[in-house]
Amino acid sequence: MLQIFNTRTRRMEPFEPTDPKAVRLYVCGVTVYDDCHLGHARMLVIFDMVVRYLRQSGYGVRYIRNLTDIDDKIIRRAAELGETVEGLTRRMIDRFHGDQEALGVAPPDAEPSATGHIGAMVHLIERLWDRGVAYQGENGDVYFRVDRFPTYGCLSGRRLEELRAGSRIGIEETKADPLDFVLWKAAKPNEPAWPSPWGHGRPGWHIECSAMSMAHLDLPIDIHGGGQDLEFPHHENEVAQSEAATGEPFVRYWIHNGFVQVGQDKMAKSQGNFMTIREALTRYDRETLRFWLLASHYRSPVTFSEENLVQARFSLERLYLALRGLGEPDSPDSAALAPWQSRFSAAMDDDFNTPDALAVLFDLVREINRVRTADPDRACQLGTGLREMARVFGLLELDPETFLRGGGGEVTDEWIEERIHERQRLREAGQYAEADRIRQQLLDAGILVEDGPEKQARWRRRSPAAS
RNA sequence: GGCCAGGUGGCAGAGUGGUCAUGCAGCGGCCUGCAAAGCCGUCUACGCCGGUUCGAUCCCGACCCUGGCCUCCA
């Protein structure tokens, strides 16, 4: 049975969705003001894996992931670029969708946008207003009154006194309490604005996710996810607003993924140490990227570096090498796979322990390689199983030769084939020194020639960093 | 300052009170014309100091160090 580490309780809990047949999953998506970087990729890939695993485990899943398409950064960026807010967000959403597809991430079942849910947000704020937990400051902004929500801080394990004692909270005199947060921002000149009972303005960030998740999912939501940096204050505020408005529990299991780091630092736009998904995909293939992201547990930090990505590529090559040359089995035999399948599930059931699950895949690879000559049909059985298990990670979806020969390079396949034929002639003539020269020539071009039992030698590309 | 997470072998990265993670790299062997791939074997570990225990990397306590959040953030 699946156990999930729930951020709210900080412990493992058996996963029992409200409706055993349909998991309600909401993940905080991205703010569309710029290209997404590898930090966003981690979130996308991790929750893609979560959804795939839940579905493979027999659950129906309704997966909602939002788009924040109105906020300060967007307005500022649009102004800088001399572009309309709508034009900017439309462009960025298209690019984001391109990134998603390029990463092999299945789209969510619905992708609500903030500007498409202004009415729901206003309505939600009205409910908070009616319950006396919202008020309007002198500047026209509407705030949530934090001390009216007794359990404020429960998600992130903070207490109001501790937060107030913190030195980093700026004092804003229009708030009754420095910890109160904005529900509705009064419009400034030349900003996009929508009408509301409190005047023209736009929604605060936190209210978006409360309104959008409730618009698309029944309460309580089973799993609400996002990056660790959203734990406080974003998710804390979501809980406060949602539960204060509805009077019922908002979310049952909170899942937060760890950061992508560069050296010792978190990868972030503000740090300037980021690499966009687009750029990463010009340097590494998507399965290598996914492997790298899934080779660490989702709650641990993962470090972006050339060495780590090259290592991921090599590891993945071992999986593909095992698959190379395996056909379809004569008849499926699930019993042959049972031991690995159960170890794999046990790993995944343990809070999505993908590194442990990957280790099972490698053990399976060893077994495939061991039996492939003596018992080819069993090897095929196991190979099919390997692919099936890897599907949860979005890995091993390519033809092995395609993967192994891919990765780019300056030389054409035709040239390679021609050289290999030439070398084969020399080998048959016993001119090994000449043949080896060609092998070296190919190797210098990043091509590894492998003589097999067949007459025709196989080849594959080594990534440039291999040497 | 407050709160949270973590420190595992050359690197990456799981896990466990007492045999084995796994991948990459290294070393030896088999295989190969030579290689590659593969198989077999093998070496480098659990931050530091105490405590509990027959036994601790794993439990408890102190200490050191790192990261994150407390401000926009996946």
User: β-pairing, A22-31 with A221-227?
Assistant: parallel
A127-to-A135, A205, A360 alpha-carbon distances in Å: 12, 17, 51
Residue at minimum CA to C1' distance from nucleotide B6: A300
Reported as type and span, the H/E element at residue A102 is helix A85-102
Per 3-state DSSP, chain A is made up of helix, strand and coil in percentages (nearest 5) of 50, 15, 35
Residues lower than pLDDT 50 in chain A = 465-467
Residue A363 structure tokens: 């053990």
| Cβ-based neighbours of A373, under 8 Å, separated by 6 or more | none
Q: ipTM for the complex?
A: 0.95
What is the CA A100 to chain-centroid distance, rounded? 9
Buried b (16+ CB within 10 A) or exposed e, A176-194: ebebbbbbbbbbeeebbbb
Q: What is the pLDDT of residue A463?
A: 62
Q: What is the pLDDT of residue A169?
A: 55
Q: How big is chain A, counted in residues?
A: 467
A361-to-A53, A56, A192, A356, A429 alpha-carbon distances in Å: 15, 17, 51, 9, 42
Q: Using the CA of A372, which nucleotide's C1' is the nearest one? A: B38
Q: Using the CA of A27, which nucleotide's C1' is the nearest one? A: B74
Pairwise CA distance, residues A303 & A92, whole Å: 26
Q: Which of A231, A23, A33, A35 is nearest to A108 (CA)?
A: A23
| Cβ-based neighbours of A230, under 8 Å, separated by 6 or more | A28, A256
Nucleotides on chain B within 7 angstroms of protein Cβ: 1-5, 11-15, 21-25, 32-40, 66-74
Pairwise CA distance, residues A462 & A408, whole Å: 10
| Cβ-based neighbours of A416, under 8 Å, separated by 6 or more | A442, A445, A447, A459
User: What is the side-by-side strand order in the sheet with A142-144?
Assistant: A134-136, A142-144, A181-186, A201-203
Q: What is the pLDDT of residue A244?
A: 96
Q: Using the CA of A157, which nucleotide's C1' is the nearest one? A: B3
Residue A404 structure tokens: 């192994």
Q: How far is the CA of A216 from the C1' of B52 (A)?
A: 53
Q: What is the pLDDT of residue A152?
A: 94
Pairwise CA distance, residues A51 & A57, whole Å: 10
Q: What is the pLDDT of residue A465?
A: 45
Q: Using the CA of A315, which nucleotide's C1' is the nearest one? A: B23
Q: Is A33 helix (H, G, I), strand (E, B) or coil?
A: coil
The dihedral region occupied by A267, where left means phi > 0, alpha psi between -120 and 50, and beta the remainder, is beta
Residue at minimum CA to C1' distance from nucleotide B39: A370
CA trace torsion A33, A124, A211, A225 (10° rounding): 100
Q: How far is the CA of A213 from the C1' of B4 (A)?
A: 26
Q: What is the pLDDT of residue A456?
A: 81
Say what the pTM is: 0.95
